[in-house]
Amino acid sequence: MPKCDMKTRYIPATFAWILLLSTTFLFFFYPCQYYLKSHPWVPAYQGVITFFVLANFSLATFMDPGVIPKASPDEDREEEFRAPLYKNAEINGITVKMKWCVTCKFYRPPRCSHCSVCNHCIETFDHHCPWVNNCIGRRNYRFFFFFLVSLSIHMLSIFSLCLFYILKITPNIRDTPPIVAMVLMAIVIILAIPIFGLTGFHMVLVSRGRTTNEQVTGKFKGGYNPFSRGCWHNCCYTQCGPQYPSLLKPEKYAARRSHKDGQGISVITTERRTNQQGGSMRGNNTPANVPRSPRETLKNYYDRDNRHTQLSPGRECSDTDMEPQASQSQDCEPTPPLQRHNSTNFYLPQVEAGVSNLNNGAIVTGASAMMPNAGAGGGGG
């Protein structure tokens, strides 16, 4: 997907805001005046629905979707050319391939993808929505979903109330309020198919524990989805799950970290298998868990169930990204000779000896030191 021109990038979102605010204003200014006298509860009900629509729309637009900060210039300067294209991590009996992002300079957590429009890696990437001018990811998907649901209810209410209003004042059909009501009904009819269709589509995705990116790429087509909790638990997690902190503001959450034990992660390398406790070592014998930038104060942060662990030299990322609710996005192909045609990112691992758990939560990042002749992986983020 090519990058959008900054001058035209805001046009769809601006149009969406203008359309939403103008139609809502016309409804309250004309047809709703009738209900204000005869049925006072109608304006109050519609006002609550409008508040939910605007609040969720604002949160989906302006909230950080889950951007993983890029590596600073002094990070991974040498390791990039020796890092393998993939690192295999075994999580709950499932082996997941984590791809090296040559743009952001770290291994992407499962379900993370690089957005070509925003030029950032997004946690639990769903899609980039031009109508909110923002990516939809781990932190703002809930509000995007609530926005779609509340907007659908808002549209149904406006259509029903306008229709009832027109039927009640049939003799005065040529007055301004009835004409405005008919215009609003026409707008709702035009937008009904895309809005209601998108809402139903995301309801199905939530019940199945998938993202739009996974559904479009057919990642679990005819196969097992290791990241689904079941229909009921998927819905509960989306609506009532924890709100994860923003990695763009680590200082804000550094003081809130708890002291829960994280889950162990087995990392399977291509050549050897290494068991290290605590930190991990690169080829230059420098501990990778030593913080080198202010945002790395999050390295000891623990979220509700899991803690952040190391996915690349000098990089910190969330272990919860590699729980069974996430998967790596299939957004680009590697360059030859490393091919992955006719293969999937997820497969049942073979039982082999020597695979060890890193109970302290640190990912072994010594794959490049064991493969000194491996070049940097292709695929532009």
Helix axes 176-208, 31-38, angle to 10 degrees: 90
- The identity of residue 193, as a single letter, is I
Catalytic residue status for 4: no
pLDDT, mean of residues 300-319:
39
Cβ contact 209:229 at 8 Å: yes
pLDDT tens digits along 279-288: 333 333 434 4
CA dihedral (366, 106, 88, 343) in degrees, to 10, reads -140
Which pLDDT value is given to residue 184?
A: 96
- The identity of residue 91, as a single letter, is I
pLDDT over threshold 50, residue 120: yes
pLDDT band for position 291 (50/70/90)?
Answer: very low
Share of the chain above pLDDT 70, in %: 59
Q: Per the residue annotation, which of 32, 101, 115, 129 is the catalytic one? A: 129
d(CA 267, CA 277): 12
Cβ contact 129:115 at 8 Å: no
d(CA 264, CA 306): 10
pLDDT tens digits along 342-376: 444 443 334 443 433 433 333 333 333 333 343 43
- 358's torsion region: left (phi>0), alpha (psi -120 to 50) or beta? beta
Which pLDDT value is given to residue 188?
A: 96
pLDDT over threshold 50, residue 152: yes
Average per-residue pLDDT in the chain? 71
Show the tokens assigned to 339.
Answer: 């091919």
Which pLDDT value is given to residue 92?
A: 61
pLDDT tens digits along 234-255: 999 988 888 888 888 766 665 5
pLDDT band for position 107 (50/70/90)?
Answer: confident
Which one has a higher pLDDT value, 299 or 80? 80
pLDDT over threshold 50, residue 298: no
87 by DSSP, 3-state: which? strand
d(CA 109, CA 98): 6
pTM of the predicted structure, to 2 decimals: 0.65
Going across the sheet that includes 120-122, the strands are 67-68, 120-122, 113-115
What is the sign of the dihedral through the CA atoms of 338, 344, 345 and 350? negative
